[in-house]
Structure 1
Amino acid sequence: MEISSTGRFEVRITAADVGKRVSVRRLSEPRGTGEKFTDTVGVLTSWDDGVLLITRKNGETVRIAESSLVAGKLVPAAPARRRGPAATYEELARVAARAWQPVESERLGEWLLRAAGGFTRRANSVLPLGDPGLPLDEALAAVRRWYGERGLPAYIQTATGAEGTQELLCAELERRGWVREVTAELWIGALAPVADRAEGSGVVLSRTADEAWLARYQRKGVSEVALKVLGSGPSVWFATVPGASAGQPPAAIGRCVVDGRWASFAAVEVDPARRRQGLATAVMAALARQALAEGASAACLQVEADNAGARALYAGTGFTAHHAYHHYREPGPETEPPARPGVPGTGAA
């Protein structure tokens, strides 16, 4: 916190700092009752009518009364990373988008509208990198029309917690009644340690998601459109650990898309009866070795905040969280959202 030469706290931010990363301290207990303080770090998304809104790294919005402030300052846009590959948010957003490609897309300025019959939110949402070329309300109306013509609810994919992410857009969507339905994190790490974790014996790699692979995939009734999305990407590989006997679903599966220096892991799933046997690690190791052979050096994956087992697995392999991402659904009558593939361990696509 900012402390003056006299030892007093100071508030060194103003409404002109909206859009910048700040750290503030506020009084959380009435004066005279112990003066308990609460610190908040995030992006200042508004300062109106005596109330500050600060968006934390995970996308949570905190409301703070201006009258409760005792200190505040600007902080660097993003903390320096201590390990893992260097990466910008925009680079990772584009890599992730190429790993789940839609069957139909259209540009709205610099925004990309994507549709794939409702299979995965990532392939059925707007990727808003840059300016839509219209005032926000007009852009949102165009988005809703485009998805409505396809019988789909409108979703916008945003991110928070890294330099260049979209805290301000998140705040504007929330003001307009858009509902945040999904929050997950994108983690990154070096690829070689993943390949070194296990030999991956018994793991079969294929260019296509065959019937056996799909039998373990949690999303059932996969359509031709879904198969196109699953098979999309610069270089796609599917991993399978066969079941204990013929005719049984695989013991474990996984998917990896190699894209330049990046290997994007997804759909790592293990038979519940075979968990804690190292199968997920073996699947990822086999895919990682293939990605290394194609020239990749870095890895990324999505993981949900409440998936403690997956987070422990990936942290142990050197992965760290880079940013959080969210899907906002248009306001209005309740609409059945696109079902997302069950990807325990790799988050919501």
Structure 2
Amino acid sequence: MEISAAGRLEVRITAADVGKRVSVRRLAEPAAPGEKFTDTVGVLTSWDNGVLVITRKGGETVRIPQSALVAGKVVPPAPARRRGPAASWEELERIAARAWQPVLRERLGAWELRAASGFTRRANSVLPLGDPGLPLDEALGVVRRWYGERGLPAYVQTATGAEGAQEMLCAELERRGWRREVTAELWTAALAPVADRAAGAGVVLARTADEAWLARYQRKGVSEVALRVLGAGPSVWFATVPGEGEVPAAIGRCVVDGRWAGFAAVEVDPAARRRGLATEVMAALARRALDEGASAAWLQVENENAGARALYAGMGFSAHHAYHHYREPDPAALGGGAP
């Protein structure tokens, strides 16, 4: 906290610091017995009507009455991560987008509108990397009309928790009634240690997802559109561990794109868990990616998936940034149709 030469805590931030990373101390809520102060670090996304809103690394927003402030200061961007390959959030979001491609896409300035008949939010959301070329309200109106014409809800994918990320865009969406439905994280790691984790014996690799692979895939009733999304990418590989019947014991997917290898759809038969099959699948895919010249790994994991997070952390992965999907407001809540 900011302390003056006289030893007093001071508030050294103002509304002019909106958009900057800050550290603040406030009086604790009365419901927190034994605690006098609460500290918050994040991006100051608004300061209106005597209330500060700070967006933390994971995308959570904290509202703080100005009257409760005890101290505050602008702080440098979060220190560079010490684990895993170096990369900006923009680079990783573009890599992730190439690994999970939509069937339809259209440019709105630097934004990309993506659609795939509703198969996953990632393939049916706006990737807003840059300026849409219109004021935000107009751009969001175009977005809502574009998805509405295709019978889809409008989603905007945003990132937080990295230097220069989109906390301010998140705040603007929330002010306009857009609702955050899903938060997940993108994790990275060095690729070689993943390849060294297991022998990968018995893992079969293929360029396409066959009937057996799809039988294990978690999303049932996979359509032709879904198959196009699954099969698209710079260099796509599917891994299968045969089971006792027709359905595999484990599967996985990897997309190699330059120095990056992205892992997804790693799934194991519940009856075959705790046998290291997920590790076997990822190791086999990692070795193939190394053969194609990749050196870094990434994957996406939802915050609630404790089992997967423990597995990936044990393989050397760590969180790089959070990403979110914001859904358009209900037209009824706006008092009419979509703008």
TM-score interval w.r.t. the shorter chain? Answer: over 0.9
* Residue 49 of structure 1: aligned partner: 49
Q: CA deviation at 1:73?
A: 1.2
Report if aligned partners of 1:242, 1:252 keep a CA contact under 8 Å in 2.
Answer: yes
SS at match of 2:123: helix
* Residue 209 of structure 2: aligned partner: 209
Cα distance in 2 between the residues matched to 1:286 and 1:75: 43
* Residue 90 of structure 2: aligned partner: 90
Cα distance in 2 between the residues matched to 1:272 and 1:35: 44
1:177-192 aligned within 5 A: 177-192=177-192
- Structure 2 length as normaliser, TM-score? 0.95
Cα distance in 2 between the residues matched to 1:226 and 1:58: 29
Cα distance in 2 between the residues matched to 1:128 and 1:80: 24
Q: Which structure 1 residue ranges, 5 or more long, are not aligned?
A: 335-349
Report if aligned partners of 1:102, 1:123 keep a CA contact under 8 Å in 2.
Answer: yes
> In structure 2, what residue type is equivalent to 1:326?
H
* Residue 267 of structure 1: aligned partner: 265
SS at match of 1:225: helix
Report if aligned partners of 1:90, 1:164 keep a CA contact under 8 Å in 2.
Answer: no
Q: CA deviation at 1:333?
A: 5.4
* Residue 131 of structure 2: aligned partner: 131
Is the alpha carbon distance of 1:205 and 1:68 closer, same or farther for their aligned partners in structure 2, counting shifts above 3 Å?
same
Can you list the C-alpha shifts for 1:146-165, whole angstroms capped at 9, x where unaligned? 00111111000001100121
* Residue 110 of structure 2: aligned partner: 110
* Residue 335 of structure 2: aligned partner: none
The alignment status of 1:4 with 2:4, answered yes or no, reads yes
The alignment status of 1:276 with 2:274, answered yes or no, reads yes
Cα distance in 1 between the residues matched to 2:308 and 2:29: 38
Report if aligned partners of 1:99, 1:232 keep a CA contact under 8 Å in 2.
Answer: yes
* Residue 248 of structure 2: aligned partner: 250
Q: CA deviation at 1:7?
A: 1.1
Q: CA deviation at 1:37?
A: 0.3
Cα distance in 2 between the residues matched to 1:300 and 1:34: 42
Cα distance in 1 between the residues matched to 2:55 and 2:122: 22
Cα distance in 2 between the residues matched to 1:221 and 1:267: 15
Cα distance in 2 between the residues matched to 1:159 and 1:83: 20
Cα distance in 2 between the residues matched to 1:333 and 1:108: 22
Comparing 66-75 and 230-239, the one that deviates more: 66-75
Q: Which runs of 4+ in 1 moved over 3 A?
A: none
Cα distance in 2 between the residues matched to 1:193 and 1:316: 11
Cα distance in 2 between the residues matched to 1:147 and 1:168: 23
> In structure 2, what residue type is equivalent to 1:218?
Q
Report if aligned partners of 1:188, 1:301 keep a CA contact under 8 Å in 2.
Answer: yes
Cα distance in 1 between the residues matched to 2:199 and 2:211: 25
1:207-246 aligned within 5 A: 207-245=207-245
* Residue 337 of structure 2: aligned partner: none
SS at match of 1:325: strand
Q: CA deviation at 1:243?
A: 0.8
Cα distance in 2 between the residues matched to 1:11 and 1:81: 29
Q: CA deviation at 1:78?
A: 2.3
* Residue 295 of structure 2: aligned partner: 297
Report the RMSD for the aligned CA atoms in angstroms.
1.2
Report if aligned partners of 1:216, 1:249 keep a CA contact under 8 Å in 2.
Answer: yes
* Residue 22 of structure 1: aligned partner: 22
- Identical positions, percent: 84
How many residues in Structure 1 have an aligned counterpart in Structure 2? 330
- Structure 1 length as normaliser, TM-score? 0.93
Cα distance in 2 between the residues matched to 1:29 and 1:205: 55
Cα distance in 2 between the residues matched to 1:172 and 1:193: 40
Cα distance in 2 between the residues matched to 1:215 and 1:232: 19
Comparing 178-187 and 34-43, the one that deviates more: 34-43
* Residue 342 of structure 1: aligned partner: none
SS at match of 1:122: coil
* Residue 39 of structure 1: aligned partner: 39
> In structure 2, what residue type is equivalent to 1:165?
A
Can you list the C-alpha shifts for 1:118-145, whole angstroms capped at 9, x where unaligned? 1111111000001111111100000000
Cα distance in 2 between the residues matched to 1:35 and 1:202: 56
Cα distance in 2 between the residues matched to 1:83 and 1:327: 26
SS at match of 1:292: helix
Can you list the C-alpha shifts for 1:279-337, whole angstroms capped at 9, x where unaligned? 00000000000000000000000111121111111111111101110001111159xxx
* Residue 193 of structure 1: aligned partner: 193
> In structure 2, what residue type is equivalent to 1:185?
E
Can you list the C-alpha shifts for 1:202-243, whole angstroms capped at 9, x where unaligned? 000000000000000011111111100000100000000001
